[in-house]
Structure 1
Amino acid sequence: MNAAEKIVTRNVAYEHGGVKLNGYLAYGDGGGGALRPGVLVAPEWWGLLDYPKQRAEHLARLGYVAFAIEMYGGEKTTRDPKQARAWASEFYGKPLMAERARAGLDQLLAVKGVAPEKVAAIGYCFGGSVVQSLAFSGAPLAGVVSFHGGLIPPSAEAAARTKAKLLICHGGLDYFETPEEVAAFKRALDEGKLDYQLNIYSGAVHAFTNPDADKLAREAGIEGIAYNETADRRSWMAMKVFFEEIFSAPK
């Protein structure tokens, strides 16, 4: 991205299955007509709060067209883990997770200036599960990045239709996923012959990329989530290298 470019942001209203959704689009204003890679951003289970929007803006500064999607509808957000769990539970293990994310992906693909063959998705916590699910549905993605996401082992059928390469960024001390669950996830990726990287960050627990994780943990009374600056930095760098591989990254 040119340093002189300004970041443009706007809300984008869309709909899926009769549910009204409102995403957040971010991009640089100096594209000059050239097509740019697009990146979908799936939020944590709290809903589309400021954090995923900030990540979309960071991606825009790197030269991407970024779209942070809404999953719940009605612009619902919460800081209550019981409410967040209830909302998220409507998606886990169901086709709705990928279908709702695909509605957001279609919005990103419709944005003027997005190169349709150069689109990726990233997600955080619940959003990490969302982008895995989207990839395993066979969506037209070059790659997905899951940051401390719940791990979803793909079936043989899901692996066979997956087009995306995978970068999974996981905390070494994230016990939201047991060692057995991590091993089962890796085994499913291997058996499915998927192209993946599984990065384990030492000392990192769940939600390690979110600077507000410690505050959220205190407010919600949740153990096992905390910000880790080193793991945040390393995983973001890994994402940038991954993007350079899956499509010609803008400078």
Structure 2
Amino acid sequence: MRTMFLGLGMGLMLASVNTWGDEGTLGRMGPKVETQTLTYSVDGEQYTGYLAQDTEKEGKRPLVLVVHEWWGLSDYIRHRTEQLAALGYVAFAVDMYGSGKTATHPDEAGSFSKAVMSDWPGARHNLEMAIDTLKDKQGVDASRMAIIGYCFGGGIALNAALDGMPFKAAVSFHGSPGQVVDTPSHFDGRVIIQNGLDDQMVTQSALESLLNTFESVETDATLIQYPNAMHAFTNPSADAKAKEFGLPLAYNAAADAASWQVMLNVFNKVFAAPLPSAK
């Protein structure tokens, strides 16, 4: 168990891909990355995820599941998925609400997210069915998987680790630290919890409790806290949401860049084998 506090210089920059795939269509980003919506079934209900991959890469690549904020599977999450694909991963944004449903108000978002978190077995089954849908697709190496999540999605990623799901890494960005897994298990991978020191929606005591839980099951967990960073620090639309709804949110470009690089460094370690080159 490790806790780190990172100082941030303004020289840090986030490498990004500028074109977002169109919702509901097959899109292309630059010369290589293709995107498409992908429907999968969970107990007879339809869920609409978002798949991005570089089709010019040869061989199998690690699969990264991306779990959305409490707002649902938004353009922001699609963009993160595309960024991962541009780096050579097969990335899939999971739909936790069903039918691609999104929220437009915090009350609605809270209701949607609470329903998911109150049924962890159902949430886990959703992740399992997403993996089952993807594991045999061309280019996917299902033996090398990671899960990342933002806010609500960070909580999903952390609980997936607490439940011992078969990921090599679970990375949370300003995620909810609440435990919904009844009986935590050892996680045979790396857990990275990335939060802002000025996050008013996540308490230090909750983070400490979560770290203690991971330690109790001998899981390698690291907490990284960024100074002057508030909740939703990775999302450029956070300031607009804060103004519209009076929420304690703010984008922080330096923390965004640093936390993304931390994730990539962890992926480089846990996936071991290099990513395949383009054709």
TM-score of the superposed pair, with normalisation by structure 1: 0.92
The residue aligned with 1:65 is: 90
Matches within 5 A, 1:109-188: 109-153=135-179, 157-160=183-186, 162-188=187-213
The residue aligned with 2:119 is: 94
Residue 230, structure 1, aligned to residue 274, structure 2? no
The answer to whether the Cα contact below 8 Å between 1:79 and 1:220 also exists between their aligned partners in 2 is no
Kindly tell me: are residues 19 and 40 of structure 1, through their superposed partners in 2, closer, same or farther at Cα, counting changes over 3 Å? same
Root-mean-square deviation (CA), in Å? Answer: 1.8
Residue 231 of structure 1 aligns to which amino acid in structure 2?
A: A
The residue aligned with 2:131 is: 105
Match among 22, 27, 32 for residue 48 of structure 2 = 22
Q: Distance in 2 between matches of 1:144 and 1:107?
A: 20
SS in 1 for 2:145: strand
Runs of 4+, deviation exceeding 4 Å: 153-156
Residue 217 of structure 2 aligns to which amino acid in structure 1?
A: G
Structure 1 residue 60 displacement after superposition: 0.6
Deviations, residues 5-45 of structure 1 (Å, cap 9, x unaligned): 5110011111112221111000012122x111110000001
Match among 244, 254, 257 for residue 219 of structure 1 = 244
The residue aligned with 2:11 is: none
Q: Distance in 1 between matches of 2:90 and 2:123?
A: 23
Q: Distance in 1 between matches of 2:173 and 2:131?
A: 18
Q: Distance in 2 between matches of 1:100 and 1:155?
A: 15
The answer to whether the Cα contact below 8 Å between 2:163 and 2:183 also exists between their aligned partners in 1 is no
Kindly tell me: are residues 187 and 138 of structure 1, through their superposed partners in 2, closer, same or farther at Cα, counting changes over 3 Å? closer
Q: Distance in 2 between matches of 1:209 and 1:225?
A: 10
Structure 1 residue 50 displacement after superposition: 0.2
TM-score of the superposed pair, with normalisation by structure 2: 0.83
The answer to whether the Cα contact below 8 Å between 2:159 and 2:181 also exists between their aligned partners in 1 is no
Residue 29 of structure 1 aligns to which amino acid in structure 2?
A: T
Deviations, residues 144-186 of structure 1 (Å, cap 9, x unaligned): 11100001348794233x2332111111111212121111111
Question: After alignment, is 151-160 or 20-29 more displaced?
Answer: 151-160
Q: Distance in 2 between matches of 1:78 and 1:92?
A: 16
Q: Distance in 1 between matches of 2:181 and 2:32?
A: 43
The answer to whether the Cα contact below 8 Å between 1:213 and 1:226 also exists between their aligned partners in 2 is yes
Question: After alignment, is 133-142 or 119-128 more displaced?
Answer: 133-142
Q: Distance in 1 between matches of 2:224 and 2:132?
A: 29
The gaps in structure 2 that reach 5 residues or longer are: 1-29
The answer to whether the Cα contact below 8 Å between 1:120 and 1:142 also exists between their aligned partners in 2 is yes
The answer to whether the Cα contact below 8 Å between 1:40 and 1:108 also exists between their aligned partners in 2 is no
The answer to whether the Cα contact below 8 Å between 1:155 and 1:188 also exists between their aligned partners in 2 is no
% same residue: 36
The gaps in structure 1 that reach 5 residues or longer are: none
Residue 228 of structure 1 aligns to which amino acid in structure 2?
A: N
Residue 236 of structure 2 aligns to which amino acid in structure 1?
A: P
SS in 1 for 2:116: coil
SS in 2 for 1:149: coil
The answer to whether the Cα contact below 8 Å between 2:178 and 2:206 also exists between their aligned partners in 1 is no
SS in 2 for 1:230: helix
The answer to whether the Cα contact below 8 Å between 2:52 and 2:81 also exists between their aligned partners in 1 is yes
Deviations, residues 108-139 of structure 1 (Å, cap 9, x unaligned): 32322111111101100000011122222222
Q: Distance in 1 between matches of 2:102 and 2:94?
A: 13
SS in 1 for 2:38: strand
